[in-house]
Amino acid sequence: MKKKIDVIYIDPPYNTGAQNWKYNNKYVDSNHNYPHSRWIQMMSSRLEVAKNLLKDDGVLICAIDENELNRLGLLLESIFREYKIHPIAIVHNPRGKQGKNFKYTHEYAYFCIPKNISDEEDNKEPKIMGDIKIDDEDIEWRSIRDAGTESDRTDAKNCFYPIIVKNEKIINFGEVLPLNKKPKTQTEKKGDEYYIWPIDTSGNEKKWTYARQTIESIKNLLRVKKTKNGYNIEKKKEYKTHKSVWTGPTVFDHDTIKELRFDTEKIFSKKKDINEIKKSINEKFKNLLSVKARYDASEYGTKINQKLVSNTNFPFPKSVYTVYDCIYPIVKNKKDAIILDFFAGSGTTGHAVSLMNKNDGGERQFILCTNNESNDAENENKIAIDECYPKIKSIIEGNKKLPEITGIKSNLKYYQIEHQSSEFTDSNKLKIFNNALDMILLKENTFDKILDEKNIKIYKNSKNFYTFIVKDELEIEKIKKIIPKYTGKIKIYVFSIGNDNYEDVFYAYKDVETTTFSQEIINTYRNLFND
């Protein structure tokens, strides 16, 4: 999966000093001599691997609280040197978590966004975070006549031209007026058309904020505004960029909205004074509005888990909307994106990605990896089999208590991973190859079996991509005869005791790629065992 992942979202253990995470199978508590060092060591090796999995424009998002915020920031800076790193505060507990001196209402998420390597001089980061759509009633309209510094006509010659209006609608754009010519007034009437110039109320010649060669591309965002002395041209702002502190807008379910409308109409019908109306609304809805913030981990994390998974004891799951809003701006226009979470916990990342697909018809995939330990020393629930898997299954099959955010039809592959012997004999190499079949199919996204023989297996996907598994080199001649039967791209995995990939054997075949998977797996195992 090297360079195949669009977004990695992780929510690692927070190292609070409580017995809720292990290093080398031992809990690390607050009395340990090197609690931070152990945590950093645990994270460092994982982040190194994570970086290699990301695409060139891939983004890593890592949730964290105040206990390891600073150390995580330094660690990310040392590993993700080609990335801009942004710490974002997210209000996930409006009521506050009791501390000795402060009530913590927020936690953090680090966004690691790749810099634009092609622009070495400025070292800028590309535009990866999609902007937020503004509700219609909150859209801002601003004049496109420049009023800042360097806003005069002479500062940009291509920005002084007329915008032609008829019946209070823009119908065309005139040509740039030479400097030696001047319009008579800000709004010139010519027949039933008006020519609007960027001239301020004092008669000073200014400029439009858009050059003549670009103004037509934003015509659909412009409107004509009648003024005392003529007309002004305004542009609407439909989107806004993300702030560094996320409070989360209030979320209402269907019944709450009906109740809100009924009670609000009743308040407006009985009261006329605006201050009385405001007071009545605040009294009626203050509890509702303060408790149901979108990122509230209790409302949209714990309570959702309790409805999806019977007897759940998973501690502190994220609000599904926190994870959704972190990931979606990055993959909004990538409807086939792959999202990885290797601290999957209760599976909230999978839920969030499923909701994205439901909302916009996407086909994004998520990969969730988690251990299967108990949630804590006193809880017998296993994270993978008792929390994560049942939750994702419930999201797919549907839950009567949460019909709006479940019943999202998807395909789910569930794997349990075992350790293979670290003695790399020829027989063990073959075992690794045989046991790696599911990993190969996952990597290539080919699950439809179309040929199943002892030493040859062929799988395909809906995009006419084929994966050939060849367990015996003696079958290569047979494979050469099979290839012409299929139209589409083919990738052939051949088991090899050595490191042969048989490129020379298949070089004459178009759209055929070969690899020897056994050596890649062996190298990975060696790295794991040497860690």
Can you give the pLDDT at residue 392?
96
Q: How many angstroms separate the CA atoms of 133 and 139, rounded? A: 9
Packed helices 348-360 and 320-331: angle between N→C axes, nearest 10 degrees: 50
Q: What does the alpha-carbon distance between residue 332 and residue 314 come to, in Å, rounded to a whole number?
A: 30
pTM higher than 0.75, yes or no?
no
Q: Would strands 512-515 and 489-494 be described as parallel, antiparallel, or unpaired?
A: parallel
Predicted pLDDT of residue 360: 92
With 0-12 / 13-18 / 19 or more C-beta atoms within 10 angstroms meaning exposed / middle / buried, residue 424 is middle
Domain boundaries, the chain: 5-131+294-397, 140-237, 252-290, 426-530
- In whole angstroms, how far apart are CA 502 and each of 453, 474, 507? 21, 12, 9
Q: Residue 23 has what pLDDT?
A: 47
Helices (H), 409-516: 426-435, 437-444, 476-482, 503-506
> How many whole angstroms separate alpha carbon 198 and alpha carbon 147?
10
Q: What tokens appear for 349 in the block?
A: 């990342």
Instruction: Specify the residue for token string 């860690």.
Output: 531
d(CA 6, CA 334): 9
Using CA atoms of 356, 332, 319, 354 in order, give the dihedral in degrees to the nearest 10: 20
- Alpha helix locations (H) across 113-253? 212-215
Q: How many other CB atoms are found less than 10 A from the CB of residue 25?
A: 6
Walking along the chain (531 residues) 10 residues at a time, the average pLDDT comes out as: 91 68 50 72 91 94 91 96 92 77 88 70 59 64 89 93 95 95 93 95 93 93 89 83 70 54 69 73 57 80 94 89 93 94 95 96 94 68 90 96 94 82 71 82 90 95 93 91 93 82 87 76 61 48
Q: What is the largest CA-CA distance in the chain?
A: 91
* Cα-based distances in Å from 254 to 51, 156, 201, 261, 404: 41, 52, 49, 11, 9
DSSP codes of every residue in 45-89: HHHHHHHHHEEEEEEEEEEE-TTTHHHHHHHHHHH-TTEEEEEEE
Query: Which residue, 338, 342, 247, is CA-closest to 47?
Result: 342
82 Rama class: left (phi>0) / alpha (psi -120 to 50) / beta: alpha
Name the CATH architecture for the domain at 5-131+294-397: 3-Layer(aba) Sandwich (3.40)
pLDDT at 450: 95
